[in-house]
Amino acid sequence: MGRRRRLPAGPRPRLVSLRTTFAVSFAAVTAAVTVLVGILSYNSAARLVRVDQQSVFTQVVHDVQDEVRQQEMSPDDFSSSRPGHDLVRPARTDVQVLGPQGQIMDHGSPVLPVTPQDRDMAVARTAGRVVQHKDVRVEADLFRIATVSLGKGRGAVQVAQEFSDTEDLLRALQQRTLILMAAVVVAAGLFGWWLARRITRRLVVLTSAAEDVARTRQLGIQVPVAGLDEVGRLGRAFDRMLGRLAQSEEDQRRLVQDAGHELRTPLTSLRTNISLLRRIDELPPATREELVADLSQEARELTDLVNELVDLAAGQSENEPPQRVDLADLAEDVVGLARRRTGRDVVLRVSGDTTTDGRPGMLQRAISNLVENAAKFDRDGKAPIEVSITGPARPGTVRVEVRDRGPGIAEGDLVRIFDRFYRAADARSQPGSGLGLSIVREVAMAHGGAPFAFRREGGGAVIGFTVGGGLVPGGDTGV
pLDDT tens track for 231-256: 777 777 777 787 778 777 777 777 67
Given a cut of 80, whether residue 219 has pLDDT beyond it is: no
Given a cut of 90, whether residue 104 has pLDDT beyond it is: no
Given a cut of 60, whether residue 203 has pLDDT beyond it is: yes
Q: What is the mean pLDDT of the chain?
A: 77
- The string of DSSP codes covering 357-410 is EE-HHHHHHHHHHHHHHHHHHTTT--SPEEEEEEE-SSTTEEEEEEEE-SS---
pLDDT tens track for 165-189: 666 677 777 788 888 888 887 888 7
Give the Cα separation of 403 and 401 in Å (integer). Answer: 6
Give the Cα separation of 56 and 50 in Å (integer). Answer: 10
Q: Which of 89-93, 95-99, 165-169, 219-223 has the lowest mean pLDDT?
A: 89-93
pLDDT of residue 2: 44
pLDDT of residue 425: 46
pTM of structure: 0.46
Burial call 425-460: b when 16+ CB within 10 Å, e when fewer: eebeeeebbbbbbbbbbbbbbbbbbebbbeebeeeb
Q: Confirm if 160 and 135 have CB atoms less than 8 A apart.
A: no
Q: Which of 65-79, 104-118, 132-146, 243-257 has the lowest mean pLDDT?
A: 243-257
Is 470 or 441 the better-scoring residue by pLDDT? 441
Is 289 or 332 the better-scoring residue by pLDDT? 332
Handedness of CA 386, 408, 445, 369 (dihedral sign): negative
The pairing of strands 346-352 and 385-391 is parallel
- Give, as one character, the DSSP assignment of residue 313: I
Q: Which of 210-214, 264-268, 382-386, 401-405 has the lowest mean pLDDT?
A: 264-268
Residue range 291-297: mean pLDDT, rounded: 77
Residue range 398-417: mean pLDDT, rounded: 81
Given a cut of 70, whether residue 220 has pLDDT beyond it is: no
pLDDT tens track for 349-375: 999 888 888 888 888 888 988 988 888
Q: Confirm if 388 and 347 have CB atoms less than 8 A apart.
A: no
Residue range 404-419: mean pLDDT, rounded: 77
Given a cut of 50, whether residue 71 has pLDDT beyond it is: yes
Q: Which of 50-64, 99-113, 419-433, 457-471 has the lowest mean pLDDT?
A: 419-433
- The string of DSSP codes covering 217-241 is --TT-------SSHHHHHHHHHHHH
pLDDT of residue 329: 92
pLDDT tens track for 126-147: 888 999 888 788 877 778 889 9
pLDDT of residue 351: 92
- Give, as one character, the DSSP assignment of residue 466: E
pLDDT of residue 479: 35
Confidence of residue 440 (pLDDT cuts 50, 70, 90): confident
Name the percent of the chain lying above pLDDT 90. Answer: 7
